[in-house]
Amino acid sequence: MSTLSKKIQVYLNRKPNFDKEVLLQDDGSGPYIKEWNISSEKAKPTDSQLDALTSEATKLGKNNSIRATRKTAYGDIGDQLDLLYKDMLAGKGDSTGEWFKKIKAVKDANPKEE
């Protein structure tokens, strides 16, 4: 169902509430939209409309995974702010600072698909 949910997110250009707005179900023959409670925003998509969004949905899933990996690798926000503070005191509030180098290394090691 995760692929179907990603296709729906791409279709809507946002993540819906999958407990109220869009209910998905899988009775064993594959996931499908059981309820579409946001027809005032956008009509329920057809299967062919959703199938056309497969590559974008795959990219969304990969980028979400990369964001989660980056978030862990960035570390605690307090530690990041402390590193920024130390860089500013040292006059390195630019790309020569330790904070920038750390963040760049994380981004380079975990690139998102564009």
Tell me the mean pLDDT in the region 66-78. 97
Q: How far apart are CA 90 and CA 78, in angstroms?
A: 18
pTM, entire model: 0.73
Cβ count near 16 (within 10 Å):
19
Give residue limits of the domains in the chain: 1-62, 75-114
Percent of the chain with pLDDT over 90: 92
Top CATH class of 1-62 equals: alpha beta
Q: For the segment 8-57, what is each residue's pLDDT rounded down to a tens digit?
A: 999 999 999 999 999 999 999 999 999 999 988 999 999 999 999 999 99
Cβ count near 83 (within 10 Å):
18
Q: How far apart are CA 63 and CA 52, in angstroms?
A: 19
Long-range contacts of 62-68 (CB under 8 A, 24+ apart): 62/112, 62/113, 63/112, 63/113, 66/110, 66/111, 66/112, 67/112
